[in-house]
Chains A and B, each alone.
Chain A
């Protein structure tokens, strides 16, 4: 039982390149989330999916797109990476039990 799995763990991009961060959960949770975490800023919600087939913008959605591929998988895409997107990205999931459960994170650097 792996919980929430994110890939890759580290990534370096050049400005303008694109990439997709993958997230999968095996807890049969309905809701999934993508956050970014910057020093001193806490966790900021990028996008979330309350249930399979739905996605909504969070606090900082600009420059990102998401896809809820199925109940297990929720991907985050950067179409044209910018240095301001250098951050640590976390995927999380939740269901009827309180709280959200996080993946191990992706450290992304955009040069």
Chain B
């Protein structure tokens, strides 16, 4: 089993809808979770991170953790065409230094005007 798995999509939602992106992880002991946004042809940009002790809301973005089922979700409310991008989930790597991250392959989101 891969350490981090994401549905590659593409996921399409209409403008104004809620986009829900999921990421499953294999290490039950993971303490932190990261969401990156990557526009086509650009580099990944950190948009959210949460610790295992709770969910987090930042503007239109909410990150939620389900420890029992080992998945973390990113919800984007009032989706805008500018949210169209690939969203990468990352967790600390199982081996190596504490600051290494293992990335999922990403979910491509398209917000339709």
- Chain A interface (Cβ < 8 Å from any Cβ of B): 31, 33, 40-45, 48, 50, 56, 58, 90, 94, 98-105
Contact = CB atoms under 8 A, between A and B. Distances in A.
Contact of A102 (B43, B102, B105): B43
B43 A99 contact: no
For the complex of A and B, the 8 pairs showing the least CB-CB separation, nearest first, are: A42-B105, A102-B43, A43-B103, A99-B46, A50-B97, A98-B49, A42-B103, A31-B99
Contacts of A56: 96-97
B60 interface: no
Contacts of B88: 42-43
Contacts of A58: 96, 100
Interface of B: 8, 32, 34, 42-46, 49, 88, 93, 96-97, 99-106
A106 B106 CA distance: 19
Contacts of A41: 105
B99 A94 contact: yes
24 contacts: A40-B105, A41-B105, A42-B104, A43-B44, A45-B93, A45-B100, A45-B102, A48-B100, A56-B96, A56-B97, A58-B100, A90-B43, A90-B44, A94-B99, A98-B32, A98-B34, A98-B49, A99-B49, A100-B99, A101-B46, A102-B43, A102-B44, A102-B45, A105-B43
Max chain B C-beta neighbours (<10 A), residue from A40, A43, A58: A43
Nearest to B101: A100
B91 to A, nearest CB: 12
A21 B43 CA distance: 16
A90 B43 CA distance: 8
A8 to B, nearest CB: 15
Nearest to A107: B41
Max chain A C-beta neighbours (<10 A), residue from B46, B99, B101, B105: B99
A72 B54 CA distance: 34
Nearest to A95: B99
Given A31-B97, A99-B101, A105-B42, 11 more contacts: A40-B8, A42-B106, A43-B44, A43-B103, A44-B103, A45-B100, A48-B97, A90-B44, A98-B34, A103-B43, A104-B42
